[in-house]
Structure 1
């Protein structure tokens, strides 16, 4: 049964393809249709109103895209400015902490007492007042 199908395929392939009728071209070499042939009317895909509406939507979409890009750039610039200010604030805060630490080191009791002794000052317990922040 399998051989029977194979034989039919070979017989069909062996037939020449010249049995098909040849068609004459409907267009002359200059690109114009031959006389006596009907041409199909060309249908417009879009009307002028549709083209105007689509153009308007395209312009609006382009304006929105440009506005979005401009606002994104502005936002990025503002974020960068905020980051710079935060960095400066941290730097100033670190400097202030360093200055406070230096004040505490310089105002130690034993240091103040040794400087007073070097300058010939004496400690009078009656005149000492403690000041707290």
Structure 2
């Protein structure tokens, strides 16, 4: 019987002491943890490539603007030259009309008659080569 008493003693020692439970806030289920993606830095080559590309773009923009300005200036100069050519051509046309009017045979005969000259068919020679 000694053994049966031993079991009772172990059972009585193993019995937990009861303490009144305090109200606990409801536990929210834990959200699954998502690992944040690690940012990978740019390499030196990528930085140099980006900088070079940016510089090339800026240079091309400057070249484009300067070429547009040069084209506009060239068109302006061309228009001025065309205007001068038109003026010279109109002056040449006016001078040709004046030459034609001054060379008219009626005018020359009138000037000759006023100067006391006369037209004699015997004095006219036709020269041909």
TM-score by length of 1: 0.61
* Higher Rg of the two aligned structures: 2
Among residues 87, 94, 107, which one is paired with 2:103 in the alignment? 107
Are residues 122 and 130 of structure 1, via their aligned partners in 2, closer, same or farther at CA, if it must alter by over 3 Å? same
Among residues 90, 115, 119, which one is paired with 1:119 in the alignment? 115
**With CA pairs under 8 Å and 6+ residues apart, which has the higher RCO, 1 or 2?**
1
Q: Which residue of 1 aligns with 2:71?
A: 75
State how many pairs are aligned.
96
Q: Which residue of 2 aligns with 1:54?
A: 50
Q: Residue 91 of structure 1: CA displacement?
A: 0.8
For structure 2, the residue ranges without an aligned partner over 5 or more in a row are 1-25, 29-35
CA RMSD of aligned residues (A): 2.8
Are residues 111 and 41 of structure 1, via their aligned partners in 2, closer, same or farther at CA, if it must alter by over 3 Å? closer
Structure 1 residue ranges, 4+ long, deviating more than 3 angstroms after superposition:
127-131
Are residues 50 and 130 of structure 1, via their aligned partners in 2, closer, same or farther at CA, if it must alter by over 3 Å? farther
Structure 2 SS opposite 1:105: helix
Instruction: Give the Cα–Cα distance (whole angstroms) in 2 for the partners of residues 84 and 65 of structure 1.
Output: 29
